[in-house]
Amino acid sequence: MLVDRAKTFGDRVSIGQGAREFTYRDLLSNSARIASELLGGTIDLDERRVALLCPDGIEFAISQWGIWRAGGVCIPLSSSATQSELEYLLLDSSPQYVLTQQKYSGRLQPICDRLGVVLVMLEDAVKSELVDLPEVDSKRNAMILYTSGTTNRPKGVVTTHRNIEAQIQSLVSAWDWCQEDHIPLFLPLHHIHGIINVLSCALWCGARIDALGSFELPMILSRIADKTYSLFMAVPTIYVRLIQEIEMAETNVRTEWIEGFSAMRLMVSGSAALPASVHLHWTNLTGQVLLERYGMTEIGMAISNPLAGERRPGSVGIALPSVDVRLKSESGIVIDSENVPGEIQVRGPSVFQEYWNQSEATLESFDVEWFRTGDMAVLEKGYYRIMGRLSVDIIKSGGYKLSALEIEDILLQHPQILQCAVVGMPDETWGEMVATAVVIRNGETMDVAALRNWCRDRLSPYKIPKVVKSVDELPRNAMGKVLKNAVKSLFL
């Protein structure tokens, strides 16, 4: 387990955050106190759920480990979620506790009062008296991560400690993680990209993380110029932003940044398609050949370009260690030849257990023991290339997975909106951009800025439609994909 391994790393720095440096010993002692507080006199939380809302860095790491060491299941929440989104997540996951910092208590207290959930302050928990902690079997549940999909509300993806370990080990082995690695963390810690690929892989190896809180270009670039880091993991949107920033910079600054990037031993892109043009642009600019990989909340990382060997632009590579991957055609045939597209299906120890409280959705998402990803791919000269998704209702914007249905559901609550259809429009920076066509009630007009403002209380910022088009009517007599494609054409 992560915790047992940390005992061997003692005084090595685990996380640097601003002026603070936290050793592995600090991580262990703080998480033990948090676990002691959560136990509250009991001997084991026995998989009771603890939701977690705190800054993405040291606070998150000690809290997550504290929950795990008390025998609980951690449910990371997003600080950019709206009140109604938070309430939904807490209602759906029905935790015993919400662990948070004082600064979030004003937001959480009313919801917790309504739902009868106990709010625990991290500031108090880290001062708790130490008690004996339970032995936690790796088969037990560890985490529930909420992810959007083909249902309108997000579903909770349940993983065990063993699943998480398998996800970590596969990447540690494929990408040669080691103690000397040093990585910046700027991705949000309510998704696996940040939690598993960056935070947990680093902590597994005794490596060092710089928790930067969020993606702030100037700060990141100044660290890069210092040649601080050996590894870098980001979503394609971030590489697009970096290219723009580097190209706009003056020559001397630009050279420093480029030298910093080219000094790294590995730079990875994932969570959304990295256009081949961006891949090549990055190589031309920095000399670094990005490694693109493919993954999903339900399965961890599944497919990756190799550390040594060809990293092919536009392709995601081959199955990762201990992950079985196959393609299945729409007519249900397992594809055993190249150049024939099919749905990616995945099997192995990294695959999640179930969607929380959704046995039917869980059942539907498996083809016997194979998880159906809903992503289409084709095998070409030994490498998988992602072709798109089976569902038009799933949008990937800046690496965030969004449900068109969830956004439509909210928009339809607007008093002026009679009908709407939300689609993902291709976009160079965001990959896809949320766009909506709306039919407005008779005789009324719609102010787009006012609509986006209205959305702010109801949807996380990245779910708010960036483009709104008012139409007299939506295409009729068409279902699902056909209808959505017709709507997309309205924006072209």
Please count the residues of this chain forming the interface with ligand MLC, following the rule CB under 6 A: 22
The only residue of 311, 312, 385, 396 in contact with ligand AMP, by rule CB under 6 A:
396
User: What does residue 294 show for φ and ψ, rounded to 5 degrees?
Assistant: -125, 135
Residue 462: contacted member of ligand MLC, ligand AMP, none (CB under 5 to 8 Å, by partner type): ligand MLC
State the Cα–Cα distance between residues 333 and 325, nearest whole angstrom. 14
Residue 31 interacting with ligand MLC (CB under 6 A): no
Least Cα distance to 153 among 89, 94, 74 occurs for 89
Binder of ligand MLC out of 194, 206, 348, 465 (CB under 6 A): 194
Q: Which one of ligand AMP, ligand MLC, none is in contact with 160 (Cβ closer than 5 to 8 A by kind)?
A: none
Cβ–Cβ < 8 Å for 325, 115:
no
Interface mask toward ligand MLC for 229-258; x: CB under 6 A: ------x-xx--------------------
CB 83 within 8 A of CB 111: yes
Q: Any residues with CB less than 8 A from the CB of 20 and at least 6 apart, and which?
A: 58
How far apart, in whole angstroms, are the C-alpha atoms of residue 371 and residue 351?
8
Best CA proximity match to 24, nearest among 10, 44, 40, 5? 10
Nearer to ligand AMP, 347 or 396 (CB): 396
Give the closest residue to 200 by CA, choosing from 301, 277, 113: 301
Query: Which phi and psi angles does 218 have, rounded to 5°?
Result: -60, -40
End-to-end CA distance of the chain: 51
Which candidate, 138, 125, 134, 160, places its Cα nearest to that of 29? 125
Residue 431 Cβ vs ligand AMP, minimum distance, rounded to whole Å: 9
Structure tokens at 338: 């190249």
Quick note: the x/- pattern for ligand MLC over 275-314, rule CB under 6 A, is --------------------xxx-----------------
Q: Which is nearer to ligand MLC, 48 or 281 (CB)?
A: 281
187 binding ligand MLC? (CB under 6 A): yes
Among 398, 407, 408, 425, binds ligand MLC (CB under 6 A): 398
Which residues 268-287 are close enough to bind ligand AMP by CB under 6 A? 270-273
Asked whether position 30 contacts ligand AMP by CB under 6 A, the answer is: no
- The distance of closest approach from Cβ of residue 398 to ligand MLC in the complex, given in angstroms and rounded to an integer, is 2
Closest by CA to 395, choosing from 297, 298, 285, 271, is: 271
* Residue 24 binds: one of ligand MLC, ligand AMP, none (C-beta under 5 to 8 A by kind): none
Decide if residue 193 touches ligand MLC (CB under 6 A): yes
Reduced to 3 states, what is the DSSP secondary structure of residue 369? coil
**What tokens appear for 93 in the block?**
């996951």
Binding site for ligand MLC (CB under 6 A): 187-188, 191-194, 215, 235, 237-238, 270-271, 295-297, 397-400, 430, 461-462
Binding site for ligand AMP (CB under 6 A): 147, 191, 270-273, 292, 294-297, 316, 373, 375, 386, 389, 396, 401
